[in-house]
Structure 1
Amino acid sequence: MVSFSESASDHYRLPTEVRPRHYDLTIRTDLEKEKFTGFVKIVLEIVKATKIVTFNAATELLLGPATLVLAPSGTHLTPAETKFDASTERASLTFAEELPAGTNATLHLGFESELTDSLTGYYKSTWAKGICTLTQFEPTDARRALPCWDEPLLKATFSVTLVSRKGTVSLSNMPALSDTPVGDADTKALFEGVKDGSWDATKFETTPLMSTYLLAFANGEFVHLESSYKSPLSGKVRPLRIYTTPDMIGQAQYALDIKEKVLPLYEQVFNIEYPLPKLDTLVANELAGAMENWGLITGRATAYLVDPENADIAAKKRIAGTQSHEVAHMWFGNITTMKWWDNLFRDLGRFYYFGQFLIPHLITSLQMGENIVLDKIYPEWKVDADFINNHLNVALRLDAKLSSHPIEVAVPDAGQIGQMFNLLSYSKAASVLRMLSKFVGEEKFLKGVSSYLKKHLYSNTVTRNLWEGIGEATGLDVPRIMDNWVSKMGFPLLTVTETPTGIKVRQDRFLEGGPARPEDNETIWSVPLGLVTAAAPGQALVDNDALLETRSAEFALDTSKPFKVNADTNGVYHVLYTPTRLAAIASEAAKPDSIFSLSDRIGLVHEAFALGKAGYLQLSAALDLVDELRAEKEFLVWDSIDTNLDGITHTWWESEKVAEQLKVLRRALCSPLVEKLGLEYSKDDSADITQLRTLAVTGAATAGDTGTIKALLERFTRYIAGDTSAIPVDLLNVTFSTAVKHAGAPAYDAVLKLFENPKTPSIEVAAIRGLTSPIDATLQARTFDLILSKVGNQDLFYFFRGFSTNTEALDALREFFEANYHSINKRLETTFLMISVIQVGFIPLLPHASEDDRVKAEAFFEDKDTRKYNQALAQALDGISAKAAFIERSTSDVITWLEKWRKAPRAML
């Protein structure tokens, strides 16, 4: 075996003289020795005459001697020189004679590697009785499992054969063939033991043309549940399975049911039949999230498993969204794929749109026809409105920073591609598509998407191809309308002033730190305004045709009646009204028969706090809006209120005067809801009531409501004593965290046992919340030790996220992170999880929110290699500055408002 040597390279893209056409891959997996060996024969097309064949191979993949067999002569060539570049993960074979253009050749190459817990490439995952293996190749980690041309443009077909120990199950993208394969001269060693029955060999059907990142295989003691669906387009029946290890299979039925329901709906939406003979899902413990491998979706337990007898809505939403998201990828990304990772938006954004957004966006009669998937299954979830809380608000918050990046951004270095897999890339891309679909209309939008897919089946595309498809269906210049939304960072703030005949609207870039400098305010977006007015009391009239394409323009409108820009909060922007108009909008929003929809009210809350943070409004105006909406009955509006109150509470956590008064306000909002709704859950409760109860109990306990805390502690005591019915599954998170926070070491020990042996993913998630909630420094230190010794790499992020909400632990968390930075970074270096740790945990790591904190942070990272997470770091640093300015600007305002409110309290419900 040869090894890698270090060298430098200025180029990250593979040369184009040689292209792969087909891979014949054999992998032998040894679960006992925790290693794999393989042999691949890659059919190559020589596009241009060359002496050099260059491909991707990671440093941990040990390669054997290479042979090139020329066609049709069968001449065998061995390379005169072999070079490796660790920085670009490329190997180059130089041959003595030139390979003629227009010919074919087959590269023969063996390889081997250890099975590690890296979460990337071909790796191991643990379970109760040992290990299993699976792949995670997106974005550029197929090269860790086999030598290949690891770029999305370089599609090929794959024939996979897996050799594994008897009694285990092997899986891949395609169905297994019935005949047991026999190794040839090249692969003979890999088939040792097959004939005597101690090993099995499974050969799979050849895949369609696809990118390397979608190749998948797995091995382990898997069991499965099976279902099927009938194609509404052809009538063909395809098998659907979900595989897990035996200890988890009892919690897999719900995810399988979701897959069965959404597949035919997607076929109808896209008017394209799912092209593979089967669709499996594999669930494993060690996985960063979920992955859309064609024909073999993979995902972690918390993303797919739920107790069938005691499922909480949060878990069901997570599983339904994840499963539907990955099924959508079977079309978007698998059939059509971006040419390179700078088209991440086209790939991931639209996946997300059709996977967790087209699905959520289908709710009201005014919305486009994305009421095809999740809304068809769970209309009571109001998933379009929920999108505003979970994705649009996230996108606007991240994109309001100077350190933001466009949706579509050049990524010349494959080592930095992981940074594009972030909340901004997902959530903003999904939000922009949501806005476009509302603007052009459901039917035309979906017709354009279907046309695009059919035109580019099994090929590679760029963003413009999608816009052209929708443009053909709508008659609009969609590429022009959408260009700046994906190619430029940021989004507009629309300033609305009233005129004698209507309104004047001006657009400028919105930044969380306040008005943009001229050099940061050059972009002019094509902005769908979505003007909602009152046709009659309680009846809304929406104009979805109004489009702002200049710096400012006037629009005719009857301002004597209630009106609002951005109907249903479809637009990716904020709107600034005069204080008088904002007060009138708030008053209208609070009416039982308001013309403003649920989505309007959610957006108003988020917008008011965002404008307050940026200094465009007094923060007291946002608090006035909360007070105005005190009689609100919808969970999702309360969710937006609670999220923002929690945010400002954490902003002023060091000011005891402000923090305590904010807790009083939060108790005044939440405690009456707890009294009204109680702590008991019923199967007859609506989804809205169930979620509102959970929010109210969590908010009341977090704000220090003594009655709620006492009730939760009593239930925790009964639960630990063996009465598992004492804590409704929806209250596991808040109960565990409250118990550890208020009951100390005994509660901590009990939660630790539950974490070490959780019966369900929901219990594991709740245990992490509990273990990151201690007030006591000794208990905090125990969790820090746990992170270093027992917590899997895939769970590090969840521990940091939990601690980031615990204001009593922020200083200790900073010290822990700094002291253990190198070991944490080493554990996550092959994944993009360090980005999440920085995004979620770094701002609180320097909790005092001053410019001095930013200087300290910059000094800490000065000697670190931050290339894989520098964007997340820049966003975190900007967040520190914005938070410091927010505190300086708004402290007196929030104190004045809270004192006035306490002196003249109103009935908040």
Structure 2
Amino acid sequence: MESITKFDRTPTMSTYLVAYVVGEYDYIETKDSNGISMRVYTPLGKKEHGNFALDLASKVLPFYAEYFNIKYPIAKADQIAIPDFASRAMENWGLITYREIALLIDPKSSSLTVRQRNAMTISHELAHQWFGNLVTMDWWTDLWLNEGFARWIQYLAVDRFYPEWDVWTQYVADVFSQFLVLDALKSSHPIEVPIGHPSEIDGIFDTISYAKGSSVIRMLHDYIGDDAFRKGLHNYLKDYSYKNTVTFNLWSHLAKASGKPLIEVMSSWTLQMGYPLVTVYEEQQSNKTRIIKLTQQRFIADGSSDDENLQWTIPITIFTKSNPKSIAKEILMDKPEITITLENISEDDWIKLNYNSIGLYRVKYEPKTLARLNEPIANKILSPQDRLMIQDDVAALCNAGHQSFVDYLKLLLSYKDEDNFTVWKSIASTIGNLSSLLEYTDYFDQFKKYRLNLCSSIQNRIGWDATTNENPLVAMLRPIILTLMGKSGDQAIIDEAKNRFQQHINGNLIDPNIRPAVYVVVSHYGDENTQEELQKLYKAADMNEEKVRLLTAMGQSLNPASIEKTLQFVFEGDNVRMQDAYIGIAGCASSRVGRDIVWKFLQKNWTKLVERFGESSVFLIYFVESCLSNFADEKLVSEIESFFHSANTSTVTLAVKQVIETIQMRSNVLKRDSKAIEEYLSQQ
């Protein structure tokens, strides 16, 4: 018997926000504190996997309504898990779609890392119900208004309900420092970028739109204060409800609410690519007076000069040893050079710029100024955000040739007693990048010994297994340290990983929080039989989270045959969903031997990949970046240029330029610092 289903009339809305889903699903439901009907739809038999999402969403939705002082504008807010979905999530109005891994949580096997990542994604998509749906960008040029704002406020929401996760420190590592890497390239682009053809759209859903956009919002929020920020947002959303808007409209409302000249201040951050390097020069005038000279210039990843002489209006903050928890001096730097006088500061007192790393700039200190910071780093007097960014800035300066990587390796010794998850995550990332460079030298084994020395103290303290009432961030730190030590050759770690992996196969399951480390270490030292075991586990897994853990590890073998086997597993048949294929590529390309194999694979199969994924697919960009970014041979540049010129795939044009620039920079680092690094490591 036929039936007719009638839907309520939609509000005035953009067509890209309309969604229908047809299929068999279970669902759970509730109402939030404002009476909004909320559901989470799950695959059949997995209702309990939606509980985390429903509980969080029912808190976040009214939080946003209160923060914006504008009610959620429709009667329901549904969320649904889609098995095959190109994007991680999509903010369709009232029916948000997610990949399964981005929404569902298995209470027995989901790690804290995935719970946290899902909380971020859910909070991000719910923010779009106001910022993007209720008020929509006028054109793709203002994409960052949607994505940058949602990326910032997702952290505000998650911090509200999970303060123990310390997400604002994680923001510095996962968002702030990531945009600093990409935006230092000459091939970067401004936040506001003209779009003239549909093929250009996917290319701007990148780190600049999301990460730099949100970092601009974070800096702005700090600059004008929360009260003025909320007042300006409310008026902006109220005035442009069910309308289109441009960046200028947001600036004007926030400027009016704060009484500050934001249009002049913010234009340098959205209309120009890049960001400044602030160099600090000190002169002690007397026992208690110090003159600080600051200069600004664009920071470029390869250390070259800025031909355009770009300048920014920079909110500068300075704090000192005498009061490390508050700002001693705050000034708006709108010139190439300024001079500041600090009173009541002794000759041996340290100073630091950029309190809590909120300003969008890197800092270069003179050697004596940097050396004074070793003590507050080692004793954790500085905040985790500041400890993190000191080493991140120095690493970037080393990459650019402003300092030697020996300076970075010496600085890291101040972090031997570091116990903050996010600081270690950042250090591990930089060490990983440096490792992928030093793989091309004859002294890589010496560097692995250095890594072991750096990590041994924290590993001895946190061990393998969680303790009663353990800080949740320790559970997230543990796999980072175990992976780093295992891949550095610590035999006890390797043996224990192999033992636990065998027990896991036999049914004694590994704690989900350390599975990534165990899988990576056994894969790294395993043979083809190990790969077969990992593939069996992958096929047997019914949660995509577990599949991603296994897929990430599979390619990280040092055995060429195992890497070939992983590529076959990923791309032949239907073992791996298309949306996850790039994860396999990234794992295979994580080693020197794997990189060469993956590059040959891409060249041989590029036409097939374009046909399979689509010429405008963002996954093609992921393939290019994950395969090529860690090469260090400048001779490869012409080969890459020639291949992609012939391939004529416009979607990856910007990614190829960025990859080439990165390879050239890495090659220069080896030429410049290799001998000095070898000499330093030989003395350790």
Fold shared, TM-score > 0.5 on shorter chain: yes
Partners of 2:28 and 2:40 within 8 A in 1: yes
Paired with 2:558 and 2:365, the residues of 1 have a C-alpha distance of 43
Is 1:653 equivalent to 2:451 in the alignment? no
After TM superposition, give the deviation of residue 682 of structure 1 in Å. Answer: 4.0
Q: 1:863 to 1:310 in 2, by over 3 A?
A: closer
Q: 1:735 to 1:882 in 2, by over 3 A?
A: same
Partners of 2:418 and 2:458 within 8 A in 1: no
* Aligned equivalent of 1:437, options 221, 235, 243: 221
Letter in 1 for 2:116: K
Paired with 2:357 and 2:185, the residues of 1 have a C-alpha distance of 21
TM score, norm. by length of structure 1: 0.72
* Aligned equivalent of 1:460, options 239, 244, 250: 244
- Structure-2 residue corresponding to 1:277: 75
- Structure-2 residue corresponding to 1:505: 294
Paired with 1:343 and 1:874, the residues of 2 have a C-alpha distance of 23
Is 1:571 equivalent to 2:359 in the alignment? yes
Q: 1:247 to 1:896 in 2, by over 3 A?
A: farther
- Structure-2 residue corresponding to 1:838: 624
Is 1:224 equivalent to 2:27 in the alignment? yes
- Structure-2 residue corresponding to 1:291: 90
Q: 1:617 aligns to what SS in structure 2?
A: coil
Letter in 2 for 1:508: Q
- Structure-2 residue corresponding to 1:531: 318
After TM superposition, give the deviation of residue 674 of structure 1 in Å. Answer: 2.6
Q: 1:868 aligns to what SS in structure 2?
A: helix
Partners of 1:493 and 1:575 within 8 A in 2: yes
* Aligned equivalent of 2:199, options 415, 418, 422: 415
Q: 1:216 aligns to what SS in structure 2?
A: coil
Partners of 1:305 and 1:761 within 8 A in 2: no
Number of residue pairs the alignment of both structures matches: 672
Partners of 2:479 and 2:516 within 8 A in 1: no
Partners of 1:255 and 1:320 within 8 A in 2: yes
Letter in 2 for 1:416: E
Is 1:243 equivalent to 2:29 in the alignment? no
- Structure-2 residue corresponding to 1:349: 148
Partners of 2:144 and 2:213 within 8 A in 1: yes
Paired with 2:45 and 2:538, the residues of 1 have a C-alpha distance of 16
Q: 1:432 aligns to what SS in structure 2?
A: helix
Paired with 2:62 and 2:329, the residues of 1 have a C-alpha distance of 30
Q: Which runs of 5+ in 2 are unaligned?
A: none
Deviations, residues 826-850 of structure 1 (Å, cap 9, x unaligned): 2222532212222222224xx3x22
- Structure-1 residue corresponding to 2:399: 613
- Structure-2 residue corresponding to 1:305: 104
- Structure-1 residue corresponding to 2:175: 391
Q: 1:282 aligns to what SS in structure 2?
A: strand
- Structure-1 residue corresponding to 2:519: 736
Deviations, residues 83-142 of structure 1 (Å, cap 9, x unaligned): xxxxxxxxxxxxxxxxxxxxxxxxxxxxxxxxxxxxxxxxxxxxxxxxxxxxxxxxxxxx
Partners of 2:350 and 2:369 within 8 A in 1: no
Is 1:754 equivalent to 2:537 in the alignment? yes
- Structure-2 residue corresponding to 1:861: 644
Deviations, residues 547-596 of structure 1 (Å, cap 9, x unaligned): 1001111122245332111111111111111111011122232224x2x2
Is 1:480 equivalent to 2:264 in the alignment? yes
Paired with 1:668 and 1:748, the residues of 2 have a C-alpha distance of 30
Is 1:204 equivalent to 2:34 in the alignment? no
Deviations, residues 246-294 of structure 1 (Å, cap 9, x unaligned): 1443322111111112111111111111111000001012112111111
Deviations, residues 840-879 of structure 1 (Å, cap 9, x unaligned): 22224xx3x2221111110111112232121111111111
Partners of 1:416 and 1:868 within 8 A in 2: yes
Greater shift after overlay, 633-642 or 548-557? Answer: 633-642
* Aligned equivalent of 1:403, options 168, 179, 187: 187
Paired with 2:298 and 2:526, the residues of 1 have a C-alpha distance of 48
Is 1:823 equivalent to 2:621 in the alignment? no
Deviations, residues 1-59 of structure 1 (Å, cap 9, x unaligned): xxxxxxxxxxxxxxxxxxxxxxxxxxxxxxxxxxxxxxxxxxxxxxxxxxxxxxxxxxx
Partners of 1:291 and 1:326 within 8 A in 2: yes
Over the aligned positions, Cα root-mean-square deviation in angstroms equals 1.6
Partners of 1:253 and 1:308 within 8 A in 2: no
Partners of 1:292 and 1:298 within 8 A in 2: yes
After TM superposition, give the deviation of residue 333 of structure 1 in Å. Answer: 0.2
Paired with 2:47 and 2:442, the residues of 1 have a C-alpha distance of 49
After TM superposition, give the deviation of residue 543 of structure 1 in Å. Answer: 4.7
TM score, norm. by length of structure 2: 0.95
- Structure-2 residue corresponding to 1:24: none
* Aligned equivalent of 1:779, options 558, 562, 566: 562
Paired with 1:388 and 1:720, the residues of 2 have a C-alpha distance of 38
Letter in 1 for 2:495: K
Is 1:552 equivalent to 2:341 in the alignment? no
Q: 2:304 aligns to what SS in structure 1?
A: coil
Q: 1:494 aligns to what SS in structure 2?
A: strand
Q: 1:730 aligns to what SS in structure 2?
A: coil
Paired with 2:227 and 2:675, the residues of 1 have a C-alpha distance of 51
Q: 1:298 aligns to what SS in structure 2?
A: strand
Paired with 2:635 and 2:606, the residues of 1 have a C-alpha distance of 21
Paired with 1:752 and 1:395, the residues of 2 have a C-alpha distance of 34
**Identity percentage of aligned residues:** 29
The structure with the greater share of residues assigned to helix is: 2
| Larger RCO (alpha carbons 8 Å, 6+ apart) | 2
Partners of 1:332 and 1:350 within 8 A in 2: yes
Is 1:675 equivalent to 2:423 in the alignment? no
After TM superposition, give the deviation of residue 813 of structure 1 in Å. Answer: 0.8
- Structure-2 residue corresponding to 1:515: 304
After TM superposition, give the deviation of residue 217 of structure 1 in Å. Answer: 0.7
Deviations, residues 642-661 of structure 1 (Å, cap 9, x unaligned): 2211110111112131x211
Paired with 2:469 and 2:523, the residues of 1 have a C-alpha distance of 31
Q: 2:36 aligns to what SS in structure 1?
A: strand
Q: 1:529 aligns to what SS in structure 2?
A: strand
Paired with 1:492 and 1:778, the residues of 2 have a C-alpha distance of 46
The structure with the greater share of residues assigned to strand is: 1
Q: 1:557 aligns to what SS in structure 2?
A: strand
Paired with 1:866 and 1:516, the residues of 2 have a C-alpha distance of 31
- Structure-2 residue corresponding to 1:798: 583
Moved over 4 A (4+): none
Paired with 2:294 and 2:339, the residues of 1 have a C-alpha distance of 6
Paired with 2:524 and 2:413, the residues of 1 have a C-alpha distance of 30
Q: 1:274 to 1:543 in 2, by over 3 A?
A: farther
Deviations, residues 403-444 of structure 1 (Å, cap 9, x unaligned): 000011000112211111012221111111111111112221
After TM superposition, give the deviation of residue 757 of structure 1 in Å. Answer: 2.8
Paired with 1:871 and 1:683, the residues of 2 have a C-alpha distance of 49
Q: 2:338 aligns to what SS in structure 1?
A: strand
Greater shift after overlay, 865-874 or 268-277? Answer: 865-874
After TM superposition, give the deviation of residue 544 of structure 1 in Å. Answer: 6.8
Q: 2:542 aligns to what SS in structure 1?
A: coil
Q: Which runs of 5+ in 1 are unaligned?
A: 1-195, 232-236, 360-372, 903-909
Letter in 2 for 1:755: Y
After TM superposition, give the deviation of residue 213 of structure 1 in Å. Answer: 0.9
* Aligned equivalent of 1:257, options 47, 51, 55: 55
- Structure-2 residue corresponding to 1:133: none
